[in-house]
Structure 1
Amino acid sequence: MDQAEKDTKPKLEFLALAEELRSYILSFLPWQDIVRCTFVCKALRQTCIISSELQYIIELGGQRLLPVPIADLRNHTSVSQRLQLLRNKAHAWFQFNLHACSFQTLSIQEQFYEVRTSLADGHFCLWHESEDSEHWAKIIPILPKPSQSTVERYWSPASLCSVPNAYIVDVHMDPTQNLIAIAYAVSHDMTQEGRFYVDLREHLTLKGLGRHLALQCSPGFDDPLRTSRVIWWLQLWDWQHSTTSNSNLSDTMSHFQFSIDFLFVGNNRLLMVSDVLKLYSIEDMSQEPQLLACYSLPFTVMGEHSLLPIDDIAHGSPLQMQAQQTMWTSDIEHRLLCYVTSRLRFVFVISTSIFFDLDSERVGEKAVTIPWQSWGPANTRVFPDSWKVLVSGNRIIQVFPADVRSRYRLHMMDFSPLAVERRQGLGRVVTEPSATEVHESGKTLITSLHYVEVVSDRVFDAVELIGMWLDRDRIYLAKMMDPPDDDPGDLRIDQLEVIEMSTVEY
Structure 2
Amino acid sequence: MDKDHEQFRIYLLGETDCRHGVGPFDFFASGWFIDTYTIPWQNGLRYERATLLNITEELRCYILSFLPYNQILRCASPTLKLCRTMHTTVKNSVDLQYAIELGAQGLVQVHPPIVSIAECLRILREKANACILDNLALRLIPQRLSVTLSTGKEHLSASGSQLVTVTRAPDKRLSSRAHVYHCAFVNVLGDRLALYGEAAVKDGYGYWSLHVWNWHEGVQADVGVFFPLSFKNSHSTFPYIKDICVVGEGYRSFSEIRFLTKEKLLAFTSYGHIEPYDVEDLSKAPRLQARFTLPYNSSNMHLYGIQYPPVLHSASSCAHLATPDNHWIWTTNTADRVLCLSNRGPGPLFVITARLFFMNIPPSWFDATSEDGLSVPWSSWGPQNSRCFSGSLHGAGGSRVVSFAKLNNYNDQDPVLLRMMDFNTSAVARGIGKVVREATTYHSFNKDEMSVTTYLPYIEAISSCILHNNALSFALDEEQVALLEQSECISTCQVNDVQHLPE
**Smaller-chain TM-score range?**
0.5 to 0.7
Residue 109 of structure 1 aligns to which amino acid in structure 2? Q
311 and 195 in structure 1: CA distance in 2 versus 1, 3 angstrom threshold: farther
Q: Is the 8 A contact 1:172 1:182 kept in 2?
A: no
- Give SS of 1:466's match: strand
Residue 394 of structure 2 aligns to which amino acid in structure 1? V
17 and 286 in structure 1: CA distance in 2 versus 1, 3 angstrom threshold: closer
Q: Is 1:388 aligned to 2:393, yes or no?
A: yes
Q: Is 1:105 aligned to 2:129, yes or no?
A: no
Question: Which TM-score applies when normalising by structure 2?
Answer: 0.66
The residue correspondences of 1:15-414 to structure 2 (distance < 5 A) are: 19-36=57-74, 37-41=76-80, 45-68=87-110, 73-74=112-113, 76-91=114-129, 94-99=130-135, 101=136, 103=137, 105=139, 107-109=141-143, 139-140=147-148, 173-174=157-158, 182-183=163-164, 202-217=182-197, 233-243=209-219, 246-249=243-246, 260-274=255-269, 275-301=272-298, 302-303=301-302, 304-312=304-312, 318-319=316-317, 322-323=320-321, 327-340=329-342, 345-358=347-360, 368-384=374-390, 386-404=391-409, 406-414=414-422
CA RMSD in angstroms comes to: 4.5
389 and 11 in structure 1: CA distance in 2 versus 1, 3 angstrom threshold: same
261 and 61 in structure 1: CA distance in 2 versus 1, 3 angstrom threshold: same
Q: Is the 8 A contact 1:65 1:328 kept in 2?
A: yes
Distance in 2 of aligned mates of 1:324 and 1:195: 52
Structure with a larger share of its residues in strand: 1
Residue 316 of structure 2 aligns to which amino acid in structure 1? P
- Give SS of 1:419's match: helix
How far is the alpha carbon of 1:80 from its aligned partner?
Answer: 1.2
Map of 1:168 onto structure 2: none
- Give SS of 1:242's match: coil
How far is the alpha carbon of 1:429 from its aligned partner?
Answer: 1.0
Instruction: For residues 254-302 of structure 1, give each alpha carbon's deviation from its aligned partner in whole angstroms, at most 9, with x where no partner exists.
Output: 89x7x71221111111111121111112223355322121112223241
How far is the alpha carbon of 1:242 from its aligned partner?
Answer: 0.4
Q: Say which of 470, 479, 496 aligns to 2:493.
A: 496
Q: Is the 8 A contact 1:428 1:452 kept in 2?
A: yes
Distance in 1 of aligned mates of 2:333 and 2:287: 23
Distance in 2 of aligned mates of 1:434 and 1:12: 56
Distance in 1 of aligned mates of 2:119 and 2:177: 55
Distance in 1 of aligned mates of 2:424 and 2:87: 23
Please, which runs of 5 or more residues in structure 2 have no aligned partner?
A: 1-36, 40-46, 222-242, 364-371
Q: Is the 8 A contact 2:212 2:245 kept in 1?
A: yes
Q: Is the 8 A contact 1:185 1:197 kept in 2?
A: no
How far is the alpha carbon of 1:305 from its aligned partner?
Answer: 1.0
172 and 181 in structure 1: CA distance in 2 versus 1, 3 angstrom threshold: farther
382 and 150 in structure 1: CA distance in 2 versus 1, 3 angstrom threshold: same
Q: Is the 8 A contact 2:437 2:455 kept in 1?
A: yes
Distance in 2 of aligned mates of 1:195 and 1:317: 45
433 and 46 in structure 1: CA distance in 2 versus 1, 3 angstrom threshold: farther
How far is the alpha carbon of 1:321 from its aligned partner?
Answer: 5.3
Please, which runs of 5 or more residues in structure 1 have no aligned partner?
A: 111-123, 125-137, 142-146, 152-170, 187-191, 221-227, 484-492
- Give SS of 2:143's match: strand
- Give SS of 1:411's match: strand
